[in-house]
Structure 1
């Protein structure tokens, strides 16, 4: 077997093993969820069937895609940092702060259509990038762990948002809620009817999420920066010895991660809400961490993980009608991630042992019987 065919075989086996691991994780999650349902006096088969029947309806599928769009952007923001062994726990604060600043700008100024939308998106990316850049600067200049600094910055971002949304600044009273001024029609992005029979339109910025995913894959696999990023993630000392400026890589990686984080709320802001309010969904950044882990930090894997998460969230609505606690879905989501981590680790060990055995056989064939006995 040639080196090229061997490499192709290894890649194919890795893909197949990853698929097997994902399926095993999902089966384990369904099994554990069924046990929880049975213990709480609910029929597991009927409950799971009602969730599936409800979730595959056209309108619910569109809702699933919309939820998956925001989850996907959040997970990509996390995955970019993960590829370099950086834990950007601050995606939640980055996208929330980016959303209110972008919404305030969009509501204050009226620009021509196209330019208005682009300006809002760019401002969101700049704010998210700036807030994540603080984490990188603290890490490379003061040695502050990115986990600690990002969590602290989440709290600071919440305080800043509470200040900015006051009526004396960018907010206004709307019933029991505080909101920014609505973005005019020139800054909105309409939905698209890509699911026949659905009364719900898919966010127009779903295509932006696709571009972000493709860009991430090209950046990591086709550029010198991506090679340095992966090398630094695997071994900081080895990358530094080969001439990589590790400190610069840390800052730039977090800047890119923050820029993507700034996009998380854009599909909702420009496609549905058209303003920022205190009721704007939070916690998407932490959900992105779980989805990035489930998708193995791979853009394609994150697509399926995001759709799964969106499907579970959407189909959980039917549980209220069946008097089943919503926590069942939370249990399923948590078990899926835990099962995936365990399954992927078992697959990794199996693949490594398999590769070692193959290398051993190839060496034995090259050395011959006499040398093989001497090596033993």
Structure 2
């Protein structure tokens, strides 16, 4: 099947300028997405990371033409998401948060129907269905009603449906939500294969730190409808630095040690009783010299721990709160609809 719907001329396959979406709820304006400027190149795997209500799903819904922007513009596969919705939809696959297949349908039938809807002949639709069932390890479950499939099997079927027309660009909205750890890992492996082996451009939303860290070549952190960071996961973490934790015999020694640690370029030092925490770039490299210096000054360290930063540490540094804590805020009303991460 042809996948030549992209007409970008070598430029970004996704481009937004000032993309904005407001909703009115109880006579109040909710700024779900605020002035998003974004470019995604062909073949990238990008994760939108943020808490519930950050604006991740709303962004995907605009990029997939499900809702129109309040302001700004967006092009996907070279087509404007407002002026050329049909062309955008022909060029992409989209997997939303809900199950895509009818509960009483058989998985194979659902895939064939979707393929036929995209213009494949009966023969080609059956062939495409068989390919996807094999690729997502669903062959032995293909003739069971969707309602009888496990959560992981349903989610894999959702992704298969999103790939029926072999899109060059795939959008995944919280693909792992509700899955147990094993099924989450299995689905991540499928997503990684699509990107690395087939070259599919993938944009996904997630609030799972581990998922963004493991999958994405690029992580875009969104909070309150705005992009607050955009880099590789490794780049975001290395910019923050390692956490060097030290315990001393008493508070006096800790305060004296903190004064010395504060001389390290880029160091952020906090002292709590006899405990000193130093956040510093390349802390693993700085720690041995600091230990030796403190020991030589008569301030031996009773306990030392060096921990690399996590994406949650990055979010905490950027916003002053933990992403894990922010995730417990519950669903947000997005216009007239409520999603797991509606805004």
Shorter-chain TM-score bucket reads under 0.3
Specify which structure has the bigger relative contact order, considering alpha-carbon pairs within 8 angstroms and separated by 6 or more residues: 1
- Normalized per residue, the structure richer in strand is 2
Q: TM-score, normalised by structure 1?
A: 0.20
- Normalized per residue, the structure richer in helix is 1
Q: TM-score, normalised by structure 2?
A: 0.21
